[in-house]
A and B are shown apart, each in its own frame.
Chain A
Amino acid sequence: MAEEKIAVYFCHCGTNIAGKVDVEDVVKWAAEQPNVAVAREYKYMCSDPGQDLIKQDIQEHGVTRVVVAACSPTMHEPTFRKAAADGGLNPFLLQMANVREHCSWVTEDPVAATAKAKRILSAQIHRLPYNEALNPIEVPVNPDVMVVGGGIAGIEAALRLADAGKHVVMVERDPSIGGHMAMFDKTFPTLDCSACILTPKMSALGKHPNITLLAYSEVTQVDGYVGNFKVKVTKKARYVDTDKCTGCAACTEVCVVRKVPNEFDVGLSNRSAIFIPFPQAVPLRATIDATRCLTLSRGKCAKQPCVPACGPQAIDFTQRDEEVEVEVGAIIMATGFELWDPRQENRYSYGQLDNVITSLEFERISNASGPTGGHIVCKNGEPPRSVAILHCVGSRDENHQEFCSRVCCMYSLKFSHLIKEHLPETEVYQLYIDMRCFGKGYEEFYKRLMDEGVHFVRGRAAEVSDVALSPEEKGRLIVKVEDTLLGIVRRIPVDMVILSAGLAPRHDAKEVAQTFGFGCSANGFYLERHPKLEPASTVTDGIFLAGACQYPKDIPDAVAQAGAAAAGALDFVNHPTVKVEPTISYIDPDKCSGCHICVGLCPHAAIQYNEEKGVAEVIEAACKGCGVCVAACGSNVPQQRGYLDQQIFAEIEGALAL
């Protein structure tokens, strides 16, 4: 091992590190360590002058190895590697020592923090002499993009990319795209007709020459690597030949199974077993619900009336789920949200008392194409004389979801307006904790509703009950609430209670995130790469986020993020190649005995067996550097570059040297 000249840089990170660690002491100590030629401290190493220090020392002092003691490598390792490269040093001869997340932020005692910082630094100083110069591997990028989820965010992202000339594959779980927005009547605060602004986009997507729409399909597996994802998609059987079906709906009218809860009306109306979710569906094709169709679920339907009713003879009971493999360079996740289920909050009696409904149910009731034809009525068909709208159901609640769902205040205001518009005599009570009207034109809308005569009661509803204490409460729903402005407990008798339920992560968000190789935040939504600066990216290169799958959002925010995600994906696939981290596995053909153990164990199918030479070989572009083969080989042949045995052992020795 040649004599090395190590430069140590200790970042204060303002007071983030220096507020806890005695930087001067650590730097003085570092200067005395073996091989250390330069030891400096600086207030912000990530700033330009900080990076210049590294460059200068390489050029002027002939530094051959660098360690930056600062934040987590996920934060600034790329920054400092680039600085080293600019100074003429191979970037893999630089190591980060994480003295912020691993030390100053999590250690209370300054003395202990200073001691720990030395250990963390010592580990890297010992390791560095064993580092090798590595060169990134360049792989070609597939220019196609997949968008997962066909709500407003997914639609927007797909159209942006397709209009920019990229081929887009959209995968949607339901039989039609449109998502939640397609179910709404109006949008706040402008009161545009939701369908009027959405359906043109849906239709444009369906017809776009650059978009392949895989509706009623789900992603089951994601393989490949950055810039070259291989995605397995299961196209669920519709039992209808979509090339022949014209969407005329004749089959839906003759089907004998008529009482299937209609998902699009959140169960407030019925559909038949063969159905088209709504008239503006894209693709406008019929689907047979195999669990309810008599032929498919019981093996016999006496008349099979859908078959003769179908002019183009599109019904095909022999259809099976089909698996297709799609190759793309980037992926945009836009899988949306689910409404929080108010059955989890017993005191509001949802599911127990009639006319206690969710916000999504009210969206359908107030919608002209909904189950009541847009008439706001109770279960008995009568219009309500009074309605209470309960905010923060399942949101801002330590027992359920701690976060604010952001959209509920505003859609509750919209509901109030719609009720006042349809039923001017009806009293509307808003029971809120705080009114959060944060967007453009939102506060003005709130003011407008106050002028429309809506009652705003500040207090979280305690309970919805049908126990009447007075004649005027008989047969009505009684909402109990502490009016925190008046300082009294109120009992408000109403005919309808709307629960403004929060937005929840999809029930399978965690598994889906795992399939694609990124993670979820503590609240269950997809985790972005950086909460402020990269809200539309994930930690996995080439995978982006759009819409409410990342966090609750209203339509304008979802659309804006979709644009950001599309721009990110576009930038990514517009590069002909992408550099892959060279910290991957290497198998020395002279040592490999060809036993095959690693071939089968590799989770990324990145090791192939060379029959001619009788040895295992790593496919460099496919290897993700997970280290499984390194650990598994009985002869210790595979070595992971950047994580060689001697490097790890030196690091351990360094950490234990003090």
Chain B
Amino acid sequence: MRYLYYPGCSAEATGKAYDVSTRAVFAKLGVELEELDDWNCCGATSYFSVREMESFAIAARNLSIAQSQGDDDLCVICNACYTTLAKTNRYMNESPEVFKAVTGALGAVGRAYDGKKPVRHVMDILVNDIGLEAIADKVTRRLTGLRVAPYYGCQFSRPMGTFDDVQFPTTMDRLFETLGADVITEYDAKTDCCGGMMMLTKAEGALRLCLELLTAAEQYGAQVIVAACPLCEMNLEAYQPKVNAMFGTDFNIPVLYFTQLAGLALGVDPRKLAIDRQVISCDGLLAAIPA
């Protein structure tokens, strides 16, 4: 089994741990990841609001590279990259106007793309391609008794819901149940927004959204929140002190990429999953998981 791999910009900076842990998990499962050559920013969600057609074009450049690099599906880890790339495919297939403009732009730099490269979320690949049974076989450190709040973020299954329910996804719940964790399946906040980029422009609004997510996690007794997007992870983890300062709370809940915690269950060394480099210490968490 083999996939082309698009890390996305955050994976080289704040989201490094997501990239590192994804590679480690795939290596453990014996699945090959081949990084795209010379990939560029997906445009993220913000560029679409400013210059839509240009956004399609720069996202399509990545898909064009993927198409010429190999036949394997394209694995994407970041929710925003995933949505952006999948949306580009959808628009190219449904709108002749977008198709024409995008292929024209690509043609100007000597590239071509037909809108057909399958874009897959890393969680979709883990649960639906590799499969829970195969993963269960490789578990060496079951997360027995660990209260895990699965946080999907708003762009995980929205708007298309390709492989999970749009409003109430459960793929990550099933993954961590397989890994032995005590998953908080009733964590209704799982698809509520973390504030996203608003943390930089209107922090009080974003902090309030984080407050809701953290309060819900704490109320359900979460020992760790697992995320599937670099921005969600950063907002929820790194801004806990600011949430506390603003609302008088005292949150100190570890937040991990789901691949970090999954890697732990598969027996990967915590340092190889960059767990030692989290903002909120995971020492207590590591101690709570039976070795």
Contact = CB atoms under 8 A, between A and B. Distances in A.
Query: A and B from one assembly?
Result: yes
Interface of A: 346-347, 349, 352, 399, 463, 465-469
Nearest to A462: B192
B174 to A, nearest CB: 16
Given A346-B167, A399-B167, A463-B188, A469 B219 contact: no
Contact of A468 (B186, B189, B219): B219
A250 to B, nearest CB: 45
B216 interface: yes
Nearest to A349: B188
Interface string B199-232: 0000000000001100110010000000000000
B212 A467 contact: yes
Contact of A467 (B166, B167, B168, B216): B216
13 contacts: A346-B167, A347-B167, A347-B168, A347-B188, A352-B186, A399-B167, A463-B188, A465-B188, A467-B188, A467-B212, A467-B216, A468-B215, A468-B219
A349 B216 CA distance: 14
Nearest to B218: A467
A448 to B, nearest CB: 36
Contacts of A468: 215, 219
A465 B212 CA distance: 11
Given A467-B212, A468-B219, 20 more contacts: A346-B167, A346-B188, A347-B167, A347-B168, A347-B188, A349-B186, A352-B186, A399-B167, A465-B188, A465-B189, A465-B216, A466-B219, A467-B188, A467-B189, A467-B215, A467-B216, A467-B219, A468-B215, A469-B212, A469-B215
Interface string B156-193: 00000000001110000000000000000010110000
Shortest Cβ-Cβ A-B pairs, 3 listed:
A467-B216, A346-B168, A467-B219
Interface residues of B, number: 11
Contacts of A469: 211-212, 215
Nearest to B249: A469
B35 to A, nearest CB: 37
Nearest to B170: A346
Contacts of B167: 346-347, 399
A469 B215 CA distance: 7
Residue of B166, B188, B215 contacting most chain A CB atoms (<10 Å): B188
Nearest to A352: B186
A403 to B, nearest CB: 20
A466 B188 CA distance: 10
Nearest to A346: B168
Contacts of A352: 186
Nearest to A353: B186
Nearest to A466: B219
Nearest to A348: B188
A463 B212 CA distance: 13
Contacts of A349: 186, 188
A463 B216 CA distance: 13
B285 to A, nearest CB: 22
Contacts of B186: 349, 352
A496 B206 CA distance: 29
B152 to A, nearest CB: 13
Nearest to B220: A467
A465 B166 CA distance: 19
Contacts of B168: 346-347
A573 to B, nearest CB: 51
A465 B192 CA distance: 12
Contacts of A399: 166-167
Contacts of A467: 188-189, 212, 215-216, 219
A86 to B, nearest CB: 54
A399 B168 CA distance: 12
Contacts of B215: 467-469
A469 B212 CA distance: 7
A99 B216 CA distance: 61
B172 to A, nearest CB: 15
B185 to A, nearest CB: 10
Nearest to B192: A463
Contacts of B211: 469
Interface string B39-62: 000000000000000000000000
B175 to A, nearest CB: 19
A347 B211 CA distance: 19
